Amino acid sequence: MLQTVEHVTSKYPAWSIIWLHGLGADGNDFAPIVPELVRDGWPGIRFVFPHAPVRPVTINGGMAMRAWYDIVGVEIDKRADEAGIRESMAELDALIGRERDRGIPLSRIILAGFSQGGAVVLAHALRLRLPIAGVAALSTYLPLGPANAAELTEAGKTIPVFMAHGRQDPVVPLALGERSCQQLQALGLGVEFKTYPMPHSVCTEEIRDLGDWLSARFSLR
């Protein structure tokens, strides 16, 4: 089981949000967003921020850093390490299982991720055998190409998705995010896609819109 950073908004959380960081960061990266994101009247939430394994990343000169998978070329969607993505999906599945063991049903589990982390949660959601409450994918793209359609489950089709992207993103181009949104929609998923005047980062307006989307998820359960 991956090591995690956890923040709980009440003594008895009713929901879990598992949030994967980006390349070279760790589980502490998005923890400071919790106070800005959480709203009065929301149910208790356990935020789980796992640390990715440390591995060499080819595009960064083979330097070892926390990464969900290797990237072996500048076209990240075509050069992503499939074996690494699938290993991280298995780690994510273990984290989901632990939340179920701690009393949180799948219907109250949300997956979130930024950049590399977002790629992993999107790919994993398509392959889930039972549906979860939703997926939030920030500044990211859908990896694994044609395998997504071949491995898509009926449960995966039902999972609502929130995608957010910077219009000046130099790391994951906006066009790649838009294409990924279109691919998800073609597979039958409902996707809310937002763009913002920012680079490869997170902004206040994005957090507000993510909060609105989460509020809608909470109101359905």
Q: Please list the residues that pair with 71 across neighbouring strands.
A: 80
CB-based contacts of 90, cutoff 8 Å, min separation 6: none
Separation between Cα atoms, residue 165 and residue 163, nearest integer Å: 7
pLDDT tens digits for range 107-146: 999 999 999 999 999 999 999 999 999 999 999 999 999 9
| 33-64 pLDDT per residue, tens | 999 999 999 999 999 999 999 999 998 899 99
Res 74: pLDDT: 67
pLDDT at residue 78 in the model? 63
Active site residues: 115, 169, 200
Q: How far is CA 165 from the centre of its chain?
A: 13
Full-model pTM: 0.96
Among candidate residues 74, 80, 78, 134, the one with its CA nearest the CA of residue 107? 134
Residue 221: what pLDDT?
A: 65
pLDDT tens digits, residue range 59-111? 889 999 999 999 887 666 666 789 999 999 999 999 999 999 999 999 999 99
Interior angle at CA 156, CA 154 and CA 158, nearest 5? 80
Helix axes 82-101, 116-126, angle to 10 degrees: 70
Q: What is the pLDDT at residue 220?
A: 77
